[in-house]
Structures are given as structure tokens and as C-alpha cells.
Amino acid sequence: MIFVKRIYEWIEVRLGVKELVEKNLTGYLLPRNINFWYSMGSIILFIFAVQVVTGMLLLIYYVPDADKAYSSVTAIMNRVPFGWLIRTCHAIGSSMMVLFLLLHMLSVMFMGSYKRPRELNWLSGFILFSLVQVICLTGYLLPWSQLSFWATTVATNSIGAIPLVGQFIVEFLRGGKLVGPPTLGRFFTLHVAVIPVLIASVVGVHLFLLERIGVSKPPFGLDNTKNRWQGDAFRYDEHTGGIPFFPNYILQDMTSIAIYFSLFAAVVFFCPGIFFPNDAFIQANPFQTPAHIKPEWYFLANYQTLKLFPNEFIGLSIQGAAMTFLALLPFIDWGNEKHPLKRPLFMVCAIGGILLYIGLSIWGHYS
């Protein structure tokens, strides 16, 4: 025990661990009426960690070559010990990350947590959501199945509708005029080496902003804490009278992660087929176009929007305008009121947008 104590004292003198713990864990206070929706960020971090670990394990056996990619994925599923579990967790985890990012953004919207002084938190979160969609798109091609090949063909074709630079971007992404081996190499590089670094960087920025500005108070529920601010820059200090981050909030986060993991395991073990259509088990054939190819669920609304307009550029412009509006939401809705029921125009627009997104997704799935 004396030896351990001396090691602790040696580390304490050099790092000041006690001060760090008191400042960022036990001494970091949160509002008392904090709710389940505040755990979404921790669940997303957990999913991202699982994706990194399972992705690294898949890299041991995956071969990023057009002639060997599909057979390597088949070998992972059928011959590598627990390979089917790792691949299934990675594939389903990508959808779960998009889903919980959407839920997180919706909760932030309805609780008004994007308002001053948290505009940069919202922007970094929006960039993170966009990067996750891109990494899902690039990873979709890697199994080199009929589904992934033709879904990538459809997705990259739509980019060509952008005036002047559209065709150049398409050929740059594909490495040629058509989806082929160069496309697989480029998407593999983006999926494994480029976008994960960008996502980790944006996550770091998002967490820094969260620590710097602090957690916003829910606009509803009973709470007797008070915010304390310093200066015109709105430097957050603490919620006086609140609950400590550790152990209270940590336990809440762990409970939420455990519930998520239970639901995730249920999907992985009992109904993984909802994420693996039949075309996902057929090797890519550039000379045989499947009758019904649809993108993943989170791209169905975009897919259906493009189908509604004879000119793809109009469809892309509408989607671009919607995404721009969403990114600039803190600067458009700049009022101080945060309670959703006291913002009727916001409620109408938000619920209408959600219903439109769900409706277009269902329409795209069955059309």
C-alpha cells in the first residue's frame, strides 16, 4: 500500500489528478431535471467506439480488391471465428449511429439547446452528422455485392446533376466514368483513413465546446439550479445547486448505454435480415442491373425526392436548401424562448419536416 501511495503521489505532483477529477467529474455540476435525452451523446460515442473496434477487426481479413472483396467478406461471414458477429455488428452499427444522431439532433431542436451561446455546438454536430452519412455511403460499397455496387452507382449518378462541376466530382469519386475497381480503392481509403480522422476531430471539437460552454438546462421539468456566467463571452461556470457529473450522470449514461446495447444485441441475434436484403449476398455484376435497388433507410427520403422531379438538379437544390436551413437554424431561430410549446411556428415546421421525412422514406421504400 505504501508503494501504491508513493506512485499516486508521484503522479499527482506531475499531473494534478485530484484537481482534474474535482473540476471535471465530481465538481462538474449538471441541472437536476436532466433527462434521458441528454444520454444520446454518450450512446453515440459508444457506437462510434464499437464501429472503430469492429472495423479494425474486419481489416485483418478484408481485401480491398474488386476481384477478392466479395469473397473476403464471404470468408469473414462463414469461416473466420465470430466473423459473422463482427461484420453484422459493424453493418448494423452504422445504421444505429445515424439513427441516434438524428434522435440527438431532434432532442436538441425541441429543447432549444442550439440557441445562444451554443451555435457552434450545433454546427459541429451538423458537420458530424454529414460526415457519418458520408462514411456510411463509402462503407456501403466495400462488400462489392450487387446491392452495394448499384446503390453506389445510383448515388454517384445523382451528383452529376450539379451544373459545371457535377461530372468532374462523379469521375473523381469513381476514378473513371463508371463504378469499378478504382472506385473501390478510393472509397476504401475514404472509409478507413480519411473520414474516421475527420469524425474523431469533429467529436473532439464538439466535446471541447460542450465543456467550454456547458450543458443547457431542459426547458421543462422542475429545477432549482442556477446558471452562473462570466463576462460578455458567456463563459459557463456551473449549475449551482445541481447534481455532480460523477457518479450521478455517469450512472445515467451507463444505464442508457446498457439499454441500447440490449436492443442492439436483440437486432443482431434475432433479426439481422432487415439490414441485409437478398442482393447483399450476390457478388457485384456490372452487366446485370437488379430490378429493385434502393439505398439504405437514411437515404430513402433523398432518393424519393430525386424521383419526384424530372430534373435532378431541382431535387438536389431542394435538398441542399433544406440542409442549409438546418445548419443555420441557430441563426434563423434566434429568440430566447426555448420551450417548444411556446414556439408554435417552430413546432409546426419541426413536426411537418419530420412527417415529410418519414413519408418520403416510406414512399421511397415501397415505390
The rounded distance, in Å, linking the Cα atoms of 208 and 206 is: 5
- The burial class, CB within 10 Å (0-12 / 13-18 / 19+), for 59 is exposed
Helix (H, G, I), strand (E, B) or coil at 249: helix
Domain membership flag for residue 9: no
CATH number at residue 216: 1.20.810.10
Domain containing residue 202: 35-225+259-296
Q: What is the dihedral of CA 120, 124, 125, 129, to 10 degrees?
A: 150
Q: Is the confidence at residue 234, as pLDDT, over 70?
A: no
- Over residues 183-223, the pLDDT tens digits come to 999 999 999 999 999 999 999 999 999 888 888 888 876 55
Domain count of the chain? 1
And the C-alpha cell for 19?
484537481
Residue 314 identity (one-letter amino acid):
I
Domain membership flag for residue 219: yes
Return the beta strands (E) in 303-367 as ranges: none
Domain membership flag for residue 358: no
Domain membership flag for residue 344: no
Pick from 13, 17, 35, 34: nearest CA to 26: 17
Domain membership flag for residue 288: yes
- Please report the sign of the dihedral spanned by the C-alpha atoms of residue 138, residue 144, residue 148, residue 154: positive
Domain membership flag for residue 356: no
pLDDT of residue 237: 45
Pick from 64, 233, 258, 34: nearest CA to 142: 64
Domain membership flag for residue 148: yes
Q: What is the mean pLDDT of residues 292-320?
A: 89
pLDDT of residue 222: 57
- Over residues 316-364, the pLDDT tens digits come to 999 999 999 999 999 999 888 888 889 999 999 999 999 999 999 999 9
The rounded distance, in Å, linking the Cα atoms of 341 and 244 is: 29
* Residue 145 bridge partners (DSSP): 283
- Over residues 276-288, the pLDDT tens digits come to 888 889 999 998 8
Percentage of residues of the chain with pLDDT beyond 70: 94
Confidence of residue 232 (pLDDT cuts 50, 70, 90): very low
Domain membership flag for residue 317: no
pTM for the whole structure: 0.91
